[in-house]
Amino acid sequence: MQHLIRRDFLKLSLISFLSTFFGCSRSLELSQDINSAIKEEAFGYFLEVVFPTHLFGLQKYQKNVIRLLKNLNSSESKKVVRSYHRFKDKYKNEHGSFDSYTLAKGENVISQLLTTRFFSGHSKAVNQALDIIYEQIGRIRELQSDFWGRKYSSAGKMCIYWHNYDQPVT
């Protein structure tokens, strides 16, 4: 019995230590669902770093992305929420709060999370979350035209520019 208590104590201590050391609150990131995460103000900042709509004039697609994220399966949404929490915690650790949030600061946080750290697993986890989000962004059909500010032509169908592909798009 003694040794079991000792083992659990060590386990808890280790989790606590890791949480502090890596700046993440594991219990919350594991329990929060994507719907409640999305409602947090910080999630908006997280999403803006990943998909900087303001910079590219694509603000109207933020809602589409959020709708798609809400429909993620359990495993995918957990990965996104977990990475969001890592972003939020690290940002707060470095800047105190989001009051003076800038895109550059947010980018710096993601960059750090993506930097491989021995044993941390952050890089892999955050990369997976980004893959999931970009996969969803790629599914927004209407967004495709706005990427290039012109219509695109799908493969396998008649080219929509077939009559004037020799001219620039005006």
Q: Does 154 bind another protein (CB under 8 A)?
A: yes
Q: How many residues belong to the site for another protein (CB under 8 A)?
A: 39
* Residues 70-129 interacting with another protein (rule: CB under 8 A): 103, 107, 110, 114, 127
Q: Does 139 bind another protein (CB under 8 A)?
A: yes
Indicate the residue among 21 and 162 with the shorter CB distance to another protein: 162
Output the smallest distance, CB 76 to another protein, in A: 15
With CB under 8 A as the contact rule, the residue among 7, 52, 67, 70 that binds another protein is 52
Query: Nearest CA to 123 among 83, 151, 66?
Result: 83
* Binding positions for another protein, rule: CB under 8 A: 49-52, 55-56, 103, 107, 110, 114, 127, 130-131, 134-135, 137-140, 143-144, 147-148, 150, 152-159, 161-162, 165-169
